[in-house]
Structure 1
């Protein structure tokens, strides 16, 4: 996305992507395969290039002409919302970015989406733009933003205490922007998804779900987040995932419960279409789904407990979890509630089945493996 010199500068600044803890930062095998899987159709896109001076970028941010959306939460006035994670650059990274500008080093470009109302939405570049806004404001995290992790000549400087030459250097530095245009249609949004997915390399890559909920914010994403907060689910899953893997797993469970017969690869496309089709809960009985999901969580917690979602590892196995939830939700929907001890027996029978192991280990997203593990889990829960 940037030239090699700019890329090296970006790496010295802590990279243009957010940095998370080691486990969360690494894409799973399933996520890597999903990102690598080719779409059946390629959508065209319209874009232009322009340069913005730093002072102009900050001014546009302040008055709302450039918007940094947040993950997943719908804003009816935004045609594309949520491509950004929360702001996670640490102060040394912020300081070194500002220092790079003051030194006149090359800076990676940003990517914006121009929507119909002419506002720009930040597709890539959140960390840099938020850092600029904070430095110009003079405050970060409630404290004065004075440069510290920089060369001696810049130590202690704030925007207000910059010398005239330094201020001109910063204000008048140009940052290249690629502007992708959208008309708000599904085809336009799909094109933006594909553009971003192709740029999603190096640093900390976004997962398919992080891109997905950016493309389809709305009531369904909010519903997923509410389920993600349910106490029993949190006890089963564990700590919240910084990469939203817990939320994606709930989406997988609901999509497969509703529509397993139509599952297809790549999984990302199946989930994209489900989220797009039911973006504002159209065609979904969300109260019923919520009840089934929470009841299944209670039964799994009271029965086998946290170990139910794990297979030969301390980490949650998504393929195992979706099969258990779909199978148990079908059982709960079909009759009286089973006892926790019966649920424990069914889970043990499912995980000890020699046919199960191949469907929940390694490459797990094929049509054959998905349908097979759902059928096996459903069969075991139907027996109790």
Structure 2
């Protein structure tokens, strides 16, 4: 386990014992960011509404209720991509349908209603809705959806084979929904972010950036993915993209600190949300930062290489990486620098005890962030 804000992307808590889970579980830094309270809590408008199963399926099929896919880029979706993909097992799906046939109570849904087109977006309830849609269609994962993991009276039944009384019981069953309204504004989206963050528990929790990518989908998020695919950046971070988007979040951290360092304050998630909301449409500030980012990645790849982002463990250290990137980008905007000079500067930085301290302990604190980027900027300026 690492210090809460070292930036090293390593397993945390007891889950670290699970083999193969290192890239999927949340780090200590991410837990800390999720659990840090916001300075300002945005009020919301919401209401309760009941939907019958038949109506829910019809709305899903018509696109009036949208279950966004993760990272969806859809100009018509103001709050896109909260869901991580369908993960229920067939047993869970069968038991859910059986519960409805038996008239058992079902957990409610959380929906977001867009004012622009009146569509409902699924904030919580993907598994239930997709199961209903698949059962009505009669197909799941390319196979006939017949109930198996259920009581004998329901076994092998498909929707089409349901006796009429059972079909009416299913179609007439109601699911309660809490419907949150959003007008697409930054304030409204921030409120939805805070709601989802509070719902985000159990199973595979989303990281702060995964929620952010979903919420602020647009040109800026598209630019983050473009930068994340640069060969020079991949040679620095690692060939394989991180399945939890940590490499993409690091890019956002670099761009935000390069552009708005003076405005940085904890929690990190709030600072990055503000930046993503303000620059969602890719303005000149982001274009300039993006250009400097590409140049810095190229110089680092040709100079010191991947070691610039790593301490002794060999794993990417976010605090060290962002400071080196921002410091080098600051130098690039003032004067050219050779890959050899970049290498010398990185060696000097990574052997500097003060810089090491700012990338090892309490690295999210305002003063520490300012200090490590100042040290990096001064070192590259003198190179």
Question: Which runs of structure 2 are paired with 1:84-123 in the superposition (5 Å)?
Answer: 84-116=83-115, 117-123=117-123
* Contact 2:147/2:158, CA 8 A, preserved across alignment: yes
Tell me which residue corresponds to 1:127: 127
* Contact 2:279/2:286, CA 8 A, preserved across alignment: no
Call closer, same or farther: CA 1:307–1:153 in 2, change over 3 Å.
farther
* Contact 1:253/1:322, CA 8 A, preserved across alignment: yes
Question: Which runs of structure 2 are paired with 1:198-217 in the superposition (5 Å)?
Answer: 198-217=198-217
Matched, 1:370 2:369: yes
* Contact 2:111/2:122, CA 8 A, preserved across alignment: yes
* Other structure's SS at 2:47 match: strand
Tell me which residue corresponds to 1:261: 262
Q: Distance in 1 between matches of 2:160 and 2:28?
A: 48
Give the CA deviation at 1:300: 2.4
Listed as ranges, the gaps of 5+ residues in structure 2 are 1-18
* Contact 1:72/1:216, CA 8 A, preserved across alignment: no
State how many pairs are aligned.
363
TM-score (normalizing by structure 2): 0.85
* Other structure's SS at 2:111 match: strand
* Contact 2:255/2:286, CA 8 A, preserved across alignment: no
Tell me which residue corresponds to 1:5: none
* Contact 1:29/1:363, CA 8 A, preserved across alignment: no
Call closer, same or farther: CA 1:290–1:101 in 2, change over 3 Å.
same
Tell me which residue corresponds to 1:228: 228
Tell me which residue corresponds to 2:281: 280
* Contact 2:193/2:215, CA 8 A, preserved across alignment: yes
Q: Distance in 2 between matches of 1:349 and 1:156?
A: 69
Tell me which residue corresponds to 1:8: none
Q: Distance in 2 between matches of 1:98 and 1:306?
A: 51
Give the CA deviation at 1:358: 2.4
Q: Distance in 2 between matches of 1:193 and 1:69?
A: 15
* Contact 2:49/2:177, CA 8 A, preserved across alignment: yes
**In the TM superposition, what whole-angstrom CA distance separates every residue of 1:4-57 from its partner, at most 9, and x where no partner exists?**
xxxxxxxxxxxxxxxx96223422222222222222222221211122222221
Q: Distance in 1 between matches of 2:152 and 2:232?
A: 52
Listed as ranges, the gaps of 5+ residues in structure 1 are 1-19
* Contact 1:310/1:317, CA 8 A, preserved across alignment: yes
* Other structure's SS at 2:179 match: strand
* Contact 1:72/1:222, CA 8 A, preserved across alignment: no
